[in-house]
Amino acid sequence: MTEATLTLPDGRLLTYLDLGDPQGHPVFHTHGAPSSKLETRFFGLDAHARSAGIRLIALDRPGIGGSTPQAGRTLLDWGSDVADAASVLGIERFGLFGYSIGAASALAARMVCADRVSATLIVSGVGPADVPGITEGRSPDVSRIIAMSTRMPGLTRAGLAFMRWGTKNPAKMIAATGKGMPPADRAVADRPGAAEPFAAFLRDALRQGTAGALRDLQLVAGPWGFTPTAAGGPLGIWHGKADTNVPAHAARWLATAVPGAIRTVTQDDGHISLLDSRGAEVLEWLSAAIAEQGSPRVEAGGGR
């Protein structure tokens, strides 16, 4: 589970982690923000993916981790990057897994790569900010950060830089971050050993600076530039009713927008507790959904 790098056709680099079952169903994971591929370690997804028979490929978006920055990138640009990454890795058909802000990127990839996508999993995923009422009940701090990303980008970058500095003291940082969390999320943040993996994905997200994370926030501050459709195989949506980072209205909107989507809302889970406590369950769902589409576990040429 070490960092690897692939080269896209235009010469840009994408860093990634290759997790789970090497012979499993290939699935591309898209991280939250500010975050990176290392959030998969925080949530223990390597073991869950292995158990579910999934080869989980956690990609860093441009400017995140060691991935080459891409000025002015859009969500649909990421869809093209996923298509190219799959081709570079010798993977023809694949699943998608978007977490939090990464849901928008995963759904963009689902649209761009519809004929290659076997199934998609969205966990605690955002919806388009221009949908009326979709952010009702969201934490004021989260709303402020996302709004500032477009209105006061310089101030947002300063805040991200301060966050990077804060990772020098992981325990203090996670304690401060968790103050406004719902109880289920706070329990995850307070768990012994949680602070360092949490700090690790933040450090990785900001290791090139703040531009990549800023762009991630900006891309969900307004319209997405596309509307999700049923193309791209089964869509599973999992959300915690107690989520105050991304209220469950987003899950309801997506389930309505995509005919046939399966929505599961858990009563007590928050934004991070859902994936923390149900990581095995959601990946088992994804594995079964992919298998129902007849996608092979081993892709031709799809070695690590």
Q: What pLDDT is attached to residue 3?
A: 86
Whether 278 is in a domain gets the answer: yes
The residues with which 27 forms a beta bridge, in sequence order, are: 56, 95
Q: What pLDDT is attached to residue 55?
A: 98
Q: What pLDDT is attached to residue 2?
A: 74
Rounded CA separation 77/197 (Å): 29
Whether 159 is in a domain gets the answer: yes
- Residue 127: which domain range? 3-292
Residue 18's domain is classified under what CATH number? 3.40.50.1820
Separation in Å, CA 289 to CA 56, 83, 193, 236, 297: 15, 20, 33, 9, 12
Residues 6+ apart with CB under 8 A from 64: 31, 35, 36, 37, 204, 205, 208, 212, 213, 216
Q: Is the dihedral of CA 177, 20, 30, 241 positive or negative?
A: negative
3-state secondary structure of 39: helix
Rounded CA separation 269/240 (Å): 4
Q: What pLDDT is attached to residue 123?
A: 99
Contact 283, 45 (CB under 8 A): yes
Q: What pLDDT is attached to residue 303?
A: 44
Domain count, the chain: 1
Whether 302 is in a domain gets the answer: no
Whether 297 is in a domain gets the answer: no
Give the DSSP H or E segment for 99: strand 94-99
Separation in Å, CA 272 to CA 198, 245, 276, 299: 11, 9, 6, 32
Rounded CA separation 1/12 (Å): 22
The residues with which 55 forms a beta bridge, in sequence order, are: 20, 26
304 residues of the chain, pLDDT tens digit each: 678 999 999 999 999 999 999 999 999 999 999 999 999 999 999 999 999 999 999 999 999 999 999 999 999 999 999 999 999 999 999 999 999 999 999 999 999 999 999 999 999 999 999 999 999 999 999 999 999 999 999 999 999 999 999 999 998 888 887 777 899 999 999 999 999 999 999 999 999 999 999 999 999 999 999 999 888 899 999 999 999 999 999 999 999 999 999 999 999 999 999 999 999 999 999 999 999 987 666 544 444 4
Whether 24 is in a domain gets the answer: yes
Q: What pLDDT is attached to residue 96?
A: 99
Report the residue count for the chain.
304
Its pTM stands at 0.95
Q: What pLDDT is attached to residue 295?
A: 66
Whether 185 is in a domain gets the answer: yes
Rounded CA separation 63/98 (Å): 18
Whether 156 is in a domain gets the answer: yes
